[in-house]
Amino acid sequence: MMEPKIISGNATAKEIKAEIAATVQKRKEAGLKVPHLAAVLVGNDGGSEAYVSYKVKDCAEVGFESTLVRKESNISESELLQVVQDLNDNPEIDGFIVQLPLPDHIDESKVLLAIDPTKDVDGFHPSNVGRMALGLETFKPATPLGIVELLKRNDINVSGKHCVIIGRSNIVGSPLSILLSQNADGANATVTLCHSRTKNLEEITNQADVLIAAIGKPGYVTESMVKEGAVVVDVGTTRVPDASKKSGFGLKGDVLFDEVSPKCSAITPVPGGVGPMTRVALLLNTLRAVS
Amino acid sequence: MMEPKIISGNATAKEIKAEIAATVQKRKEAGLKVPHLAAVLVGNDGGSEAYVSYKVKDCAEVGFESTLVRKESNISESELLQVVQDLNDNPEIDGFIVQLPLPDHIDESKVLLAIDPTKDVDGFHPSNVGRMALGLETFKPATPLGIVELLKRNDINVSGKHCVIIGRSNIVGSPLSILLSQNADGANATVTLCHSRTKNLEEITNQADVLIAAIGKPGYVTESMVKEGAVVVDVGTTRVPDASKKSGFGLKGDVLFDEVSPKCSAITPVPGGVGPMTRVALLLNTLRAVS
């Protein structure tokens, strides 16, 4: 039993936002373009509305310009592709995202492929995913980028350590496994990627110096799955009803925090851990887009 | 101690080549285009000469057309880029490769990026690497593709098994770790990617149900690193002087075969294991390019 360090994504994100704001200020003083992020929101999904409003708010906070492009949920695929094309062609817009999920009648993959890779600040376009996998400079997907930054800035050196990731999604687990195993600053870890087909999961997670849970199942990671002294990163942010909250819901992580945290040397909370780092990673990518 | 199954890449490659030849024959009969592979060879490196000549020979064997484009080692980067452009534009050529390494005065990455991704049968272009990482249809790099095929066709089901890969190169270890962990036929493994910075390597390799050595250090994997009953895949093909061979050299794998094989349930030899599968994978990609 120990008193774990609580890794505050809020505090680290605040620090990075201050740095970005200072860079934007210097750009303004030098007469350089202010970064401009656009977000495309289709329909009225509650989660998507919230995510996009955070993005607009974050831009304001660091001095970026932002544009919200709202479309009705009955927009046709070809109309949406035209929206993407217009943003590709608009020199004012440095980077943009299309908020997922999209309505069922629209092929998400087609839309993501239509985004100009040089403006793809979500880092979802195959050519950016490939550049990342090859270790070339590019936009990295926000959550993996945010986690790497969070560990680096909290002096958690993963080099030579065994990082075990639970969850192989294209937006978190899989790209994070690639990034952490590369020969790069903040990386060089030995990485094991686990998922729904993994047998002996508990045996493997118990070897993790750094355990990263990215499965979206609240409370999935229990005390018996974690090695004494491990660092635990909780990527889960499942919305659960919570009458005590103004919004009517709260966020639950993939880790059973109360029973797991006493075994950890350090752990990220939910909320206030990976979430704010994902948000700030989008700002880092947008700054990269204009640089 | 057991009598391990020797996984013959030669036999499996032969089987696949027969299938490809039959497909080409059917294409001919249907009046469809015969696949046409081009290879660009710059300079006179002995290894590169050999690899390219194998590729030409393999094409002939399955009924593909092939073109060898030879250039002197003093070709300029812009001249080589023009060669690539001409192949991109040539409708006769379905796919092509630029044999690596290139002379020092040429930026390899620039040349690979210039290849039309739809003709990139080596699967090295970032947009193909990204498509692979996202699980989309694409050209997969030859050695990882060859290994996945070899395991599948020899009834070694990796689903839920722990695959440990030693070596994180962009052409073998890293893409193989991506492929084996995906939710796909012949995959679904729990994958650990180890490399030069890995601490406790032996502890990790001893957990491998399937151990894949791709480091290029002859005899690196010894008996003590392998679990009883493991499947071992040896990607190493280091050229070592051998007076008994006509060519004056032999190939050494990364695995100390004589002491490791008695512990294995199955093992690939060197030569005759992964090597022929890498060659046949290029043919599979070329067939995909024309289809």
Note whether A191 contacts B190, CB cutoff 8 Å: no
Q: pLDDT at residue B277 above 70? A: yes
Q: What is the 3-state secondary structure (H, E, C) of B258-286?
A: HHHHHHCCEECCCCCCHHHHHHHHHHHHH
Mutate to test the interface with A, among B115, B158, B195 (most CBs of A within 10 A): B195
A195 CB within 8 Å of a chain B CB: yes
Contacts of B135 in chain A (CB under 8 A): 170
A200 CB within 8 Å of a chain B CB: yes
Answer yes or no: A234 catalytic: no
Note the ipTM here: 0.95
B101 CB within 8 Å of a chain A CB: no
Task: Catalytic residue, from A120, A122, A234, A254: name it.
Answer: A122
**Whole-number pLDDT of residue A175:** 98
B188 CB within 8 Å of a chain A CB: yes
φ, ψ dihedrals at B4, nearest 5°: -75, 150
Q: pLDDT at residue A1 above 80? A: no
**Whole-number pLDDT of residue A276:** 97
For residue A150, give Cα distances in angstroms to A21, A107, A183, B172: 18, 33, 18, 30
For residue A87, what are the contacts with CB-CB under 8 A and spacing of at least 6? A38, A40, A69, A93, A96, A115, A119
The closest CB to that of A133, out of B129, B195, B198, belongs to: B129
Q: pLDDT at residue B246 above 80? A: yes
Task: Catalytic residue, from B17, B58, B99, B263: name it.
Answer: B99
Note whether A133 contacts B199, CB cutoff 8 Å: no
Burial B228-237 (b: 16+ CB within 10 A, else e): eebbbbbbbb
Interval B64-75 mean pLDDT: 97
Q: pLDDT at residue B2 above 80? A: no
- Nearest of B110, B39, B90 to residue B282 by alpha carbon: B39
Condensed to tens digits (0 to 9), the pLDDT of residues A113-131 reads 999 999 999 999 999 999 9
Condensed to tens digits (0 to 9), the pLDDT of residues A147-178 reads 999 999 999 999 999 999 999 999 999 999 99
Condensed to tens digits (0 to 9), the pLDDT of residues A92-118 reads 999 999 999 999 999 999 999 999 999
Contacts of A131 in chain B (CB under 8 A): 126, 130
Confidence band (pLDDT; 50, 70, 90) for A248? Answer: confident
Interval A200-210 mean pLDDT: 98
Q: pLDDT at residue B236 above 70? A: yes
The alpha-helical segments, DSSP class H, found in A70-107 are 77-89
Interval A73-93 mean pLDDT: 98
The closest CB to that of B130, out of A128, A190, A204, belongs to: A128
A125 CB within 8 Å of a chain B CB: yes
Confidence band (pLDDT; 50, 70, 90) for B46? Answer: confident
Contacts of B127 in chain A (CB under 8 A): 126-127, 130
Interval A47-74 mean pLDDT: 96
Residue A126: CB atoms within 10 A of its CB come to 25
A10–chain B nearest CA distance, Å: 30
Closest Cα in chain A to B159: A197
The closest CB to that of A192, out of B192, B195, B199, belongs to: B192
Note whether B177 contacts A174, CB cutoff 8 Å: no
Number of A to B CB contacts under 8 A, please give it. 122
B181 CB within 8 Å of a chain A CB: yes
**Whole-number pLDDT of residue B248:** 87
A198–chain B nearest CA distance, Å: 5
Closest Cα in chain B to A171: B134
A203–chain B nearest CA distance, Å: 10
Q: What is the pTM of this model?
A: 0.96
Cα B77 from Cα B102, distance rounded (Å): 10
Note whether B133 contacts A170, CB cutoff 8 Å: yes
Interval A129-135 mean pLDDT: 97
Q: Which domains does chain A have, with CATH numbers?
A: 32-116 (3.40.50.10860), 141-275 (3.40.50.720)
Length of chain A counted residue by residue: 291
**Whole-number pLDDT of residue B1:** 59
Cα A197 from Cα A176, distance rounded (Å): 19
Task: Catalytic residue, from B120, B122, B209, B254: name it.
Answer: B122
Answer yes or no: A263 catalytic: no
Closest Cα in chain B to A134: B170
Q: What does pLDDT average to over chain A? A: 96
- Nearest of A150, A148, A154, A89 to residue A123 by alpha carbon: A148
Task: Catalytic residue, from A17, A55, A140, A263: name it.
Answer: A55
Interval A271-276 mean pLDDT: 97
Share of chain B above pLDDT 70, in %: 99
Condensed to tens digits (0 to 9), the pLDDT of residues A223-233 reads 999 999 999 99
For Cα atoms B88, B90, B94, give the angle at the middle one, nearest 5 degrees.
75
Interval B226-235 mean pLDDT: 98
Q: pLDDT at residue A3 above 90? A: no
Residue A181: CB atoms within 10 A of its CB come to 28
Closest Cα in chain A to B175: A133
Note whether A174 contacts B181, CB cutoff 8 Å: yes
Answer yes or no: B82 catalytic: no
A205 CB within 8 Å of a chain B CB: no
The closest CB to that of A127, out of B127, B132, B193, belongs to: B127
Task: Catalytic residue, from A17, A99, A254, A263: name it.
Answer: A99
Q: pLDDT at residue B39 above 70? A: yes
Name the residue with higher pLDDT: A3 or B86: B86
**Whole-number pLDDT of residue A46:** 85
Q: pLDDT at residue A23 above 90? A: yes
Q: pLDDT at residue B234 above 70? A: yes
